[in-house]
Amino acid sequence: MNRRISSWLALPLLLLTGCPSGGGGDGGFGNGGGISSRIAYVANSGSNNVSGYMIATTGALTTIIGSPFSGVTAPSAITVSANSAFVYVTNQGGANTVSAFRINSTTGELTLVAGSPFAAGTTPNAVTVSPNGNFLYVTNGSSDNVSTFTIDGVTGALTSPATIAAGTSPSGVSIEPNGLFLYVANGGSNNVLAYTITAGTGALTPVSGALGNPFSAGTTPSGIATPGRP
């Protein structure tokens, strides 16, 4: 779920609900019951909207009533909250925001959350939600930082925005399954930055450089994933 760089803007991004995405915004199969495990959402950067589908037992897709949904601008990544109640989409094209939607638990239709879109950094290109569903993280490819937000569990609104420096041209983000550490792939500096996630606040603190942080990667890393996570 962490496989998006700005040159991919012409491609639609697929999200399957039930699992929060990592950086690039690809979703995962739902691991709970009900409608949340039978929906797919696609962010369409060229048409500036989000398509929604029901997944049949055969694997076929049926368009959800009301789809496609507006409220995004040149979307670059998409993810779903841990409780499958909300969808979050990063917007490029000069918008530099995150759009938030509430998922109708019966139909799968999307409704914009009040206050959406929410300001992010420059060229947001990857997004993920913490395993506990309390925090959202966005990598910003042009401002070389990570935006952090607290998720209002009732409304889905993003609050308490903050930023922390990343490497050059961050392009992917993932959180390990226990929710203790966050990792960012940096396409410009060819490395991976590791952060500790502070329990309760979601604040990020870089892992000690004495441990080798940032860690070398290949040339132009564009995505990252951890076991049990997209």
Residue 187 lies in a domain: yes
212 backbone dihedrals φ, ψ, rounded to 5°: 105, 0
Domain count, the chain: 1
Residue 1 lies in a domain: no
Residue 149 lies in a domain: yes
pTM of the model: 0.87
Residue 96 lies in a domain: yes
Q: Helix, strand, coil: what percent of the chain each, to 5?
A: 5, 40, 55
Strand-pair category, 110-112 with 118-119 = unpaired
Residue 101 lies in a domain: yes
Dist. CA 47–CA 45, nearest whole Å: 6
Residue 130: domain span: 6-216
Domain with residue 134: its CATH number is 2.130.10.10
DSSP string, 34-55: SGGGSEEEEEETTTTEEEEEEE
Tell me the pLDDT of the chain (230 aa) as tens digits.
Answer: 443 433 333 345 555 554 444 445 434 333 344 566 689 999 999 999 999 999 999 999 999 999 999 999 999 999 999 889 999 999 999 999 999 999 999 999 999 999 999 999 999 999 999 999 999 999 999 999 999 999 999 999 999 999 999 999 999 999 999 999 999 999 999 999 999 999 999 999 999 999 999 999 999 999 999 887 65
Residue 225 lies in a domain: no
Residue 229 lies in a domain: no
64 backbone dihedrals φ, ψ, rounded to 5°: -75, 145
Q: How far is CA 82 from CA 76, 86, 140, 213, in A?
A: 20, 8, 22, 28
Burial of 107 (0-12, 13-18, 19+ CB in 10 A): middle
Residue 205 lies in a domain: yes
